[in-house]
Structure 1
Amino acid sequence: MSSGPVAESWCYTQVKVVKFSYMWTINNFSFCREEMGEVLKSSTFSSGPNDKMKWCLRVNPKGLDDESKDYLSLYLLLVSCPKSEVRAKFKFSLLNAKREETKAMDVQTMISVFLNGSIHSK
């Protein structure tokens, strides 16, 4: 009985994973007067000064359409990137005035984020 092939040489490759956090504060959010479909956008951010991927957050305080009018819609947008698609895992947290987490959405699967603003779960 043979034990299978034995490699004469091998290598190990580490894929670079960039981790960072970003906080967007919207002062007096409870007084927000935006109508359904209207948008607030964060400033553009990246994971560091040399990172060529630029992101922003977008929120529709009164939802995007009639179906979501009673909900806050929050999006992660890829603004610029050398590639047209990147894979990302992310977590959105809503904090109250005391900076306590009140709601959270943790995307545990890899999401493909495209420059045109669309996302796709694989």
Structure 2
Amino acid sequence: MKNMGNSKTISLNVTSKRARARGEMVVAAPAAALPPAVERAAFQLPRMTVTGIWADRAEMSAATNWKSFGANIVLTFEPLDAGNTRVLATSTPQVPTTLLDYGQGKSDVTDVLQAVAAQL
């Protein structure tokens, strides 16, 4: 695992099943710092387009490639205490009947979490 900036290295805990992926990390930053970090991180992720950013979550869409018809990624920010926040990321395919994405969803979730952590 790469150095992820200010995040605590608990683990990314990224899992994938049937083209759906889920990952989480804990960062040493208040929840209010996450929305701007997601916005900055999006510039490092050429396949991703930010579709919305709110105080408690952010949504992105991943473009189509040979592994996937695209995906919707939702980041949820859960404050643990004044200085720590859990970031939960989920990826679901844009085509609901997709059963196989050759690991693209898991890769997308890992890339998004690492990019956000690097911005904190």
How would you bin the TM-score normalised by the shorter chain? 0.3 to 0.5
- Give TM-score scaled by structure 2 length: 0.35
Query: Relative contact order: is structure 1 or structure 2 higher (C-alpha 8 Å, sep ≥ 6)?
Result: 2
* Structure of greater Rg: 1
- Give TM-score scaled by structure 1 length: 0.35
Query: Where is the helix percentage greater, Structure 1 or Structure 2?
Result: 2
